Amino acid sequence: MQRSKACLTILSLVLAINALVGYRVFCNEAEKTGADEVFQHIDTLMEVMQLIRKNYVDIDKVDYQELIRGAMEGMTNKLDPYSAFLPPKEFDSLMEDTEGEFGGIGVTISVKDGILTVVSPIAGTPGAKAGIISGDQIIKIDQEPLENVVIDKAVARLRGKPGTSVSLTIYRPATEETIDLTLERALIPLISVADATVLNGTRIGHVRITQFMEPTAGQLQKVLEDFVKKDVAAIIIDLRNNPGGLLDSAVDICSFFLPPGQLVVSVEGREQKKVERSREGGFKFPADKPVLLLINGGSASAAEITAGCLSDTGRAILLGEKTFGKGSVQNVVQLQDGSALKLTIAKYYTPSRRVIHEHGIEPDIEDKLRPQDIIAIIKHEGDMDKLLDIDKQLKRAVDVLNSYLAFDSGKGSNFKKLRSQAAPEQSATPATP
């Protein structure tokens, strides 16, 4: 009987592997490595599981399915913070990201240097209202210290039914302070394009992209078409605190500003390389109107792809702070039992071969904000008149564009080449934290 159960255990494990890579691939790898070595490890795994089943004190913790899932979690945890084995409930939670809304505190998180780190808060959510900012490190959830952080498990703990509470302990590197917060979860709407307006007293259009979703490109196109009708002279696209999203959305948006066939990003894995190029046809924003992108440490993934592409091609200038540095690709494969494997399979490269992952994208014009300034900006997002008074980066962007427009006077000069002349001398020193 014991041997039968052990055989079933191995069979289940092999079936899990088979669902991901195929039995033939598994066997080929076994031959390359040495079949004896591969199956020796499987035998050891079986032995460990049997010892646990036979001797572990809490019998309710030694279910075969849970032990196998624990083994698969251990395998993926050894790879990187973004790869993970997801049990059915956690996979369902991950899929909520595409549904438009979910219950939570409204912050996007990642793992940086082994620490759970806030990429960006979502405007108007409990996290933003509590003053959480990009770069904050979450060191405890519900008084439990975080060790060996798995990103999807952390997300699952932060999410929950609207109206329920979660406590956080946050360390803020910028000020070296530790902050304790208790937040009430809320329904988090996922808005993609916001704050589209022609700034008062200027001919400069402004639009904020909060994340890259399926409808984002279409929504942005309508905004850009409206700007063209209003004969704006330049535009600001705010990608600050944008955690990214869909690659296709980033490619579509870059296509608005580039000639057809221009390289947008390279996606390179172990054995294959895929390049994404700007789309043929469709809407094109006038090439003679300069574009400025606002970026910061909360700009990640698809936001970094967009910034890197438009900067490399000379179509936009970047102002703000270095981006987060999340430039890897995860593929999610659903398994037979409703669980899933999320696996890092590739990295992104900009047209000039800059590596995004763990490096980020540097701005052309650096302008840093203090934590208290960031908190004030988050609380006033949507009030563009107020932001023009308190958002130093936005004010700097307007100054740069106005300087360029006055300098150029219809000459059609290259915007990126003129950034040093366009930047006001009095604004050159970043703010001191």
Q: Which of 120, 192, 301, 328 is catalytic?
A: 301
- Residue 384 near residue 310, CB atoms below 8 Å: no
The letter for the amino acid at 58 is D
334 vs 12: CA distance, rounded Å: 15
311 catalytic? Reply is: no
Q: Is 363 helix (H, G, I), strand (E, B) or coil?
A: coil
User: How would DSSP label each residue in 95-138?
Assistant: HGGGSSEEEE--EEEEEETTEEEEEEEPTTSHHHHTT--TT-EE
User: Which residue out of 252, 312, 364, 391 is catalytically annotated?
Assistant: 312
Contacts for 80 with CB less than 8 Å, ≥ 6 apart: 328, 344
134 as an active site residue: the answer is: no
Q: Point out the catalytic residue in the list 153, 326, 342, 416.
A: 326
d(C-alpha 34, C-alpha 51), whole Å: 26
Pairing of strands 234-238, 204-209: parallel
Q: Distances in Å between the alpha carbon of 399 and those of 285, 310, 393, 414?
A: 22, 20, 10, 17
Q: How far apart are the C-alpha atoms of 241 and 219, rounded to whole Å? A: 19
Six-digit token string for 241: 């605190």
CA dist 364 to 306, 344, 397, 418, Å?
14, 30, 12, 11
Would the CA dihedral through 287, 279, 241, 214 be positive or negative? positive
d(CA 358, CA 405): 35
Give the three-class secondary structure for 240.
Answer: coil
Whether 36 is a known active-site residue: answer no
The residues assigned a catalytic role are 301, 312, 326
